[in-house]
Amino acid sequence: MSHDQNFKNLLLDYSRQALAFFAATEAAEIDEKVRITPVRQEQFQERLGERFRELDVPLRVEWPDGRREALLFVLEEESDARRFSIHRLAHYCLDLAELMKTDRLVPVVIFLRRAKGVAQRLRLSGNQDTYLDFLYLSCALGELSYEDHRHSDNLVARLNLPNMQYPARRKVEVYAQAVRGLTELEPDPEKQLKYLDFIDIYAALDDNERAEYQRDYPDEAQTMSRFAERFHEQGMQQGMQRGIQQGMQQGKHQGEALVLERQLRLKFGTLSDAVQHRIEQASEETLLTWSERVLTAGSLDEVLH
């Protein structure tokens, strides 16, 4: 899975925590009563174009009590800051604001690593005045201090500890703190497993570091290992049950097809390959209809018409 997709999942699964972490200045008024919903971008494909549609995760924030107007957040993740274009982002935000009929929009760019030399502001001006002044909220994860967030109760911050700045010798400690945050702050077993993968991807422990983790954090390592194994076994069992059910259904279908073929051969003789293929591809309902027609039909065509 790409870095972009990893972060898209993160932003959609934990929208409230993501806004609080990546856009703190604008998210101060977002409490538990506020409704946050992702904006479906498929409807904008023709207008925005393919290259813009995949760029961002727009989130609509609404205050049901009406104390504030709805606010649109546009979050973009850049794993490589060199790919970032402020012109492209401004273009996207203007089009989206027009389509959504709003002027309340906050662009947020999340840089996975350092963002040196990246344009922070876009000004279009002449000799006398400025006619467009565009800027965005920026969060460069590689420039944030691990120490400042190691005990955060914001799950998005804890999951991103491996992406922050820390001494190389503390890498295993960083990994452990991220995993601990996941187990403490996320009660859903499926999401625990999903975001354990997220932590693994960005921590990228080598064999020696993983052995160090097993040695220095035996309780956490054993707990997560047992949990992953149990979840994997449950998935295997569910898969086997689905397979058995599908197999039984398929076997029933094949049995009905064979009975019909036998009836047709007994009454009309040898069946062509084309007829056998039609019978194999027919639905259960069609097979039942054909089987009933065999009793009164005078020809093969009368059965299969």
Per-residue pLDDT tens over the stretch 107-137: 999 999 887 889 999 999 999 999 999 999 9
Q: What is the mean pLDDT of residues 87-114?
A: 91
Q: Are residues 237 and 138 in the same domain?
A: no
Q: Which of the pair, 132 or 194, is modelled with greater confidence?
A: 132
CA distance 183 to 195: 10
d(CA 66, CA 68): 5
Q: Considering only residues 256 and 53, tell me which one the structure prediction assigns the higher pLDDT.
A: 256
Q: Report CA 154 to chain centroid distance, whole Å.
A: 19
How far, in Å, CA of 156 to CA of 36, rounded? 16
The amino acid that residue 290 corresponds to is W
Are residues 137 and 236 located together in one domain of the fold? no
123, 143, 163 - which closes a domain: 143
Q: Give residue 243's pLDDT.
A: 53
For residues 163 and 140, is the Cβ–Cβ distance under 8 A? no
Count CB neighbours of 61 within 10 A: 23
Total domain count for the chain?
Answer: 2
175: in domain? no
Q: Decide if 186 is inside a domain.
A: no
In the DSSP assignment, the letter for residue 272 is: P
DSSP 14-64: THHHHHHHHSTTTSTT--TTSEEEE---GGGHHHH-HHHHTT-EEEEEE-T
Residue 195 covered by a domain = no
108 near 137, Cβ under 8 Å? yes
- Of 143, 159, 189, the residue that ends a domain is 143
| Assigned domain for 150 exists | no
Measured CA to CA, the distance from residue 137 to residue 99 in angstroms comes to: 22
Please tell me the number of Cα atoms within 13 Å of 192 on its side-chain side: 21
Is there a single domain that holds both residue 2 and residue 105? yes
Asked whether 155 and 17 are in contact (CB, 8 A), the reply is yes
**265 located within any domain:** yes
Residues 246 and 136 in one domain: no
Place 52 in a pLDDT band, splitting at 50, 70 and 90: very low
> Do 6 and 137 share a domain, yes or no?
yes
Q: Which of 60, 229, 24, 51 is nearest to 137 (CA)?
A: 24
Locate 267 and state its tokens: 């009454």
- Six token digits for residue 159: 């999951």
Q: Which residues of the chain form beta strands (DSSP E)?
A: 35-38, 57-62, 71-78, 105-111, 121-125, 130-135, 137-140
* 170 domain residue, yes or no: no
Average pLDDT over residues 168-196: 92
- pLDDT at res. 231: 56
Across residues 293-300, what is the average pLDDT? 80
Phi, psi of 60 (to 5 degrees): -100, 125
CA-closest candidate to residue 135, choices 115, 109, 103: 109
Is residue 118 within 8 Å of 111, Cβ to Cβ? yes
Domain assignment present for 135: yes
Average pLDDT over residues 278-283: 85
Instruction: Answer with the one of 128, 143, 158 that is the final residue of a domain.
Output: 143
- pLDDT tens-digit readout, 56-88: 689 999 988 888 899 999 999 888 888 899 999
226 inside domain:
no
pTM for this entry: 0.70
Residue found under tokens 């969060």: 139
Residues written for the chain: 305
Domain extent for 129: 1-143
Q: pLDDT-derived band of residue 167, with 50, 70 and 90 as boundaries?
A: very high
